[in-house]
Structure 1
Amino acid sequence: MSLPQPVPPSWKDLGKSSNDLLGKDYHFSGTSLEVKTKTPSNVTFKVAGSQNSQSNAINGDIETKYTNRKHGLTFTQAWTTANALRSQVEVENTIASGLKLDLATTLLPDKGSKSAILNAAYKQSGVHGRATVDILKGPTFTADAVLGRDGFLVGGEAAYNVTEGKVTRFATAVGYNAPEYAITLHGLNNLNTFSASYYHRVSVDVEAGAKAVYDTKATHGGVAIEVGTKAYLDSAAFVKAKINNAGVIALGYTQTLRPGVKASFGLALDTQKLNEVSPAGPSHKVGASFTFES
């Protein structure tokens, strides 16, 4: 008799280990600040702001989230500097075990624009499926599913336009997850774009990963490749580095200054344009991020 299978990752989380390694904690596009506080009644407040180093534009938002774990209910309300009002209601494990429903809405009063998206996710041993309905646009229906057994994963996604009566997008993926490494292959954009990602936890303190992307419709041709690594200096700090085939090197450093206070710094250098010595120049970028949480 086979052992119960763990719940596989969702479609959007296939290859997450590699994507996080190569995409997170590189703060070189400006300066950002995030402050989080939580009340005894399970209400979380978050204020976030960022300044783009190229355009000097400042964007921010304030968010309130209430969680009732007993009834599996979460309500989130946010207001941004673009005067966008976002609301989300989530219900999990209430109607059925493993089922999560959420309704996300966005309203832009200045433009009279609005959106409403209904999501459903179902996860059990060996299966993780999701469905999304864009109520006001199309409407369009998107569904994806991932099946997993003994570390092997296979998944697919498809979008269907109800009004036009046709499939507008489809994709597929296969992968293998082990405790120390993960491999994922994607066929995206109606199988016009292919990607392969690899993640390896070399040791307790060192991680490494790589990703290759080939777009059959790209005018430049060739394969885009990116490799990176992460090393923990101690329990409160780590450094990250990556380089792509275009010769751009990115560095990141994150330090936990004290419990609830974290600072991150990033730098990107175009090795083909090192004569532009200013990090603030068009080919080089530098930035920082600060997070406060209580």
Structure 2
Amino acid sequence: MAPPVYTDLGKMARDLFKRGYHPGIWQLDCKSMSSSGIEFFTTGFATQDNSKVMGTLQSKFKIEEHGLTLTERWNTENWLYGEIMQKDKMAEGLVMALAGRFQPRSNAKEGKFKLGYAQEKFNFWSDIDISSSPILNCSLVLGHKEFLGGVGCEFDVGNTKLENWKVALGWTNGEQATVHGELINGDSWLASLFYKINDKFDAGVEISKISRTGGGGEGVPGQPGAEIDVSAQQVPQDESGGNLMFGVGMIYHLDADSLIRAKINNAIEVGLGYEQKLREGITASISAVLDGNDIGGGNHKFGVGVALEC
């Protein structure tokens, strides 16, 4: 089995802090498949602060005999997205894709060519903008037994300049435990641990330091409380002037159809969530992110989500 792509390193711990939480929004997800084999994905959400409604509609169709996957997507900002991907046809583990998006109102358009190749010991992925000033993103993950190592970079081809770089090391024991560490641009870092205590209880820890200047360009994935708007006064500062965050998260499976989530970070932000499978294909969840510094009048956020699948 090939190692994961770079963006999936540390994902099991990251999901404990992000997945299932939707503070300040009402969210509806729908997934369906037509009789002709076309998959449809719809996501819609409304913010509770200003009642702004946003959403996306996506369709995906696979042509198995040619190894092709055709994807189309539209969102309420009137962006049109399309992608043609071929996988494992020319060579086992080789992925090639051409993607683009267009907004008729502003005439804005973007295009990307993607290339990936994965084998038992490595996973390489890259994409490059098809524009006047192309940006090349590429990453490589190597795997040896239970150990993983990865590097990634963002390179401005037009100006011949390295914009961002990152390096990661990790260890994984399948679904039981993962350890992940990442350094971004030399001034931002993160470390995470995921451990499956038993069939019912999953726990994780994340520590990250984000530089004031933004450090990693794309930001550090999995930052504890990253989905929460935290003011500079609330975030502890380390001696180098960056934002130091520490978080603990857990999931407890009550039974096969329900679970509870909880998390807390060093800014005293507490996340709580409950998910219930109502019937086959219908799952509902509620969540809250509470400001522990001011329980009586803090910036508390609540959310409700419903997922439908048929």
TM-score bucket (shorter structure): over 0.9
In the alignment, the residues of structure 2 paired with residue 117 and residue 273 of structure 1 have an alpha-carbon distance, to the nearest angstrom, of: 46
Aligned partner of 1:181 among 177, 192, 202: 177
**Amino acid aligned to 1:93:** D
In the alignment, the residues of structure 2 paired with residue 209 and residue 166 of structure 1 have an alpha-carbon distance, to the nearest angstrom, of: 37
In the alignment, the residues of structure 2 paired with residue 131 and residue 36 of structure 1 have an alpha-carbon distance, to the nearest angstrom, of: 29
Query: Match for residue 288 of structure 1?
Result: 304
Query: Match for residue 272 of structure 1?
Result: 293
In the alignment, the residues of structure 2 paired with residue 161 and residue 27 of structure 1 have an alpha-carbon distance, to the nearest angstrom, of: 35
Which piece of structure 1 moves more, 223-232 or 33-42? 33-42
Paired residues for 1:147-158 under 5 Å = 147-158=142-153
The reply to whether residue 227 of structure 1 matches residue 248 of structure 2 is yes
In the alignment, the residues of structure 2 paired with residue 247 and residue 48 of structure 1 have an alpha-carbon distance, to the nearest angstrom, of: 31
In the alignment, the residues of structure 2 paired with residue 237 and residue 71 of structure 1 have an alpha-carbon distance, to the nearest angstrom, of: 40
TM-score where L is the length of structure 1: 0.93
In the alignment, the residues of structure 1 paired with residue 211 and residue 59 of structure 2 have an alpha-carbon distance, to the nearest angstrom, of: 43
Aligned partner of 2:270 among 249, 252, 266: 249
Query: Match for residue 3 of structure 1?
Result: none
The reply to whether residue 237 of structure 1 matches residue 258 of structure 2 is yes
SS of structure 1 residue aligned to 2:17: helix
Q: What are structure 1's unaligned runs of at least 5 residues?
A: 1-5, 277-281
Q: CA deviation at 1:216?
A: 4.0
Paired residues for 1:67-82 under 5 Å = 67-82=62-77
**Amino acid aligned to 2:106:** K
The reply to whether residue 51 of structure 1 matches residue 46 of structure 2 is yes
Q: CA deviation at 1:60?
A: 1.2
In the alignment, the residues of structure 1 paired with residue 309 and residue 132 of structure 2 have an alpha-carbon distance, to the nearest angstrom, of: 37
In the alignment, the residues of structure 2 paired with residue 53 and residue 201 of structure 1 have an alpha-carbon distance, to the nearest angstrom, of: 34
The reply to whether residue 142 of structure 1 matches residue 137 of structure 2 is yes
**Amino acid aligned to 1:230:** I
Q: CA deviation at 1:80?
A: 1.2
**Residue pair 1:104, 1:118 contacting (<8 A) in 2 also:** yes
Query: Match for residue 4 of structure 2?
Result: 9
Note the alpha carbon deviations across 1:165-216, whole angstroms, 9 max, x for none.
121111101011113111011001x121110011000001100001101124
SS of structure 1 residue aligned to 2:168: strand
Query: Match for residue 94 of structure 1?
Result: 89
In the alignment, the residues of structure 2 paired with residue 285 and residue 271 of structure 1 have an alpha-carbon distance, to the nearest angstrom, of: 12
Query: Match for residue 263 of structure 1?
Result: 284
SS of structure 2 residue aligned to 1:275: coil
**Amino acid aligned to 1:114:** K
In the alignment, the residues of structure 2 paired with residue 61 and residue 216 of structure 1 have an alpha-carbon distance, to the nearest angstrom, of: 33
In the alignment, the residues of structure 2 paired with residue 147 and residue 87 of structure 1 have an alpha-carbon distance, to the nearest angstrom, of: 31
The alpha-carbon distance between structure 1 residues 15 and 193, as it changes in their structure 2 partners (threshold 3 A), is same
Q: CA deviation at 1:137?
A: 5.6
In the alignment of these two chains, the number of paired residues is: 283
In the alignment, the residues of structure 2 paired with residue 275 and residue 34 of structure 1 have an alpha-carbon distance, to the nearest angstrom, of: 33
**Amino acid aligned to 1:240:** R
**Amino acid aligned to 2:264:** I
Note the alpha carbon deviations across 1:120-161, whole angstroms, 9 max, x for none.
111101100101101126211111000010111111001111
SS of structure 2 residue aligned to 1:111: coil
Q: CA deviation at 1:30?
A: 0.8
Structure 1 vs Structure 2 CA RMSD: 1.4
**Residue pair 1:186, 1:194 contacting (<8 A) in 2 also:** yes
Q: What are structure 2's unaligned runs of at least 5 residues?
A: 214-231, 239-243
SS of structure 1 residue aligned to 2:61: strand
**Residue pair 1:115, 1:137 contacting (<8 A) in 2 also:** no
The reply to whether residue 208 of structure 1 matches residue 203 of structure 2 is yes
TM-score where L is the length of structure 2: 0.88
In the alignment, the residues of structure 2 paired with residue 265 and residue 245 of structure 1 have an alpha-carbon distance, to the nearest angstrom, of: 23
Aligned partner of 1:159 among 154, 160, 177: 154
Query: Match for residue 103 of structure 1?
Result: 98
In the alignment, the residues of structure 2 paired with residue 192 and residue 42 of structure 1 have an alpha-carbon distance, to the nearest angstrom, of: 47
In the alignment, the residues of structure 1 paired with residue 50 and residue 178 of structure 2 have an alpha-carbon distance, to the nearest angstrom, of: 38
